[in-house]
Amino acid sequence: MTLETLAKDIAKSAEAEASAMLKSAQDDAKAILAEANSKADSIRSEASARTEREANQIAREVVASARQANQKEILVARRKVLDETLESASNELGSPKMSGRASLLKSLMAKADKIGGNDYSIRPVELDRKALSELAKAQGR
């Protein structure tokens, strides 16, 4: 063997070793890249699922909030109608010009007599004091 042949053998061996190292490095790089892509896909799908869950939760909360606001508006409107009805009824019942007031007072006194017998006292408002005093006198109280 000559030096030249020896050099060629060493060069071939080095070239083969370098080629094998390069191929191994490329295979490792492909594996690392595939693993990184897999992790990125996993992270992306988890983020997408989490974002979708959060969006659905926000949508449910917005719908619930809108329903609650509607219910509140309905309740406020009902309250307003009830307050107006109470005020109207109070004004009507408190009016001395109410037709049938005397018969209403008579009827209420008769019910009071049935319920309480003679063991109760009446404290009428000034508007009805005279009429109730006359009723009491007529009944012998």
Q: Is the pTM of this model over 0.75?
A: no
Q: Determine how many CB atoms are found less than 10 A away from the CB of residue 135.
A: 19
pLDDT tens track, the chain, 141 positions: 687 888 888 888 889 999 999 999 999 999 999 999 999 999 999 999 999 999 999 999 999 999 999 999 999 999 999 999 999 988 887 777 778 877 888 888 888 778 877 677 777 777 777 777 777 777 665
Q: What's the per-residue H, E or C state across 10-22? A: HHHHHHHHHHHHH
